[in-house]
Amino acid sequence: MELEEEKVVSVTVPCSLQNVPVGWVQCEFAMDWASRGESMGASWIVKDEKGKVLEHSRRAFVEVGSLTEAKLQLWLWVLESMRSLKKKKVRFVSSFGDLIEAIEKPSFWPALQFEVGEIKRELQAFEAWELRIGSWNTIRCAFFIAQSVRNLGLTQSYVAAGHPRWLDHIYANDRSASGGN
């Protein structure tokens, strides 16, 4: 008898690490896009169930024509990255409530059916997944990294262990506020 893959979809605001199940990771992602069609900055941050940053990444995209296209490119890049890093159980957190709701309730968002189909196809690669809408506070570090593409001209894409050192002050404040080390 085959085991059925676990698929979990939920929408919750705000998202907290306090209830990330053991053995799962939380992937927070964001983008910085402008309608002028220049470059788009994107980033993701992966945390374990204790909130420790395991990896983060930044990527620059060019000539992204619309906001919907920007969101889809970001989603597909994030999903590909998590697969490449062999993450099996992932909570995906973004500010894209429209796409998350469209995945959960496709009949409410007929204009996003192509994007939903592409994202759902890629989600099948995971043993278990969860989608969450994150508050600004939850995804702010991912957004700061994404902004570095357009605001600072940092177009070199990379994947790195831990968090970016230039965000040390935010992670130090988060640790002291939560009583962590």
Q: 54 by DSSP, 3-state: which?
A: strand
pTM: 0.85
Tokens of 76: 């597909």
Tokens standing for residue 49: 């169930």
DSSP summary character for residue 165: G
> Token match 């597909």: residue?
76
Render each residue's pLDDT in the chain as its tens digit; 181 residues.
333 334 444 444 344 555 889 999 999 999 999 887 677 999 999 999 998 999 999 999 998 989 999 999 999 999 999 999 999 999 999 999 999 999 999 999 999 999 999 999 999 999 999 999 998 888 999 999 999 998 998 999 999 999 888 887 776 666 555 555 4
Judged on CB neighbours under 10 Å (0-12, 13-18, 19+), 18 is exposed
Alpha carbon 70 to chain centroid, angstroms: 13
Q: Amino acid identity of 10?
A: S
Largest CA distance in the chain: 54
d(CA 44, CA 158) in angstroms, rounded, equals 11
Domains and CATH numbers, the chain: 17-174 (3.30.420.10)
Token pair listed for 11: 């929408």
- Hunting for tokens 């070199």 — which residue is that? 156
Instruction: Please give the single-letter amino acid code of residue 121.
Output: R
Identify the bridge partners of residue 30 per DSSP, sorted by sequence position. Answer: 43
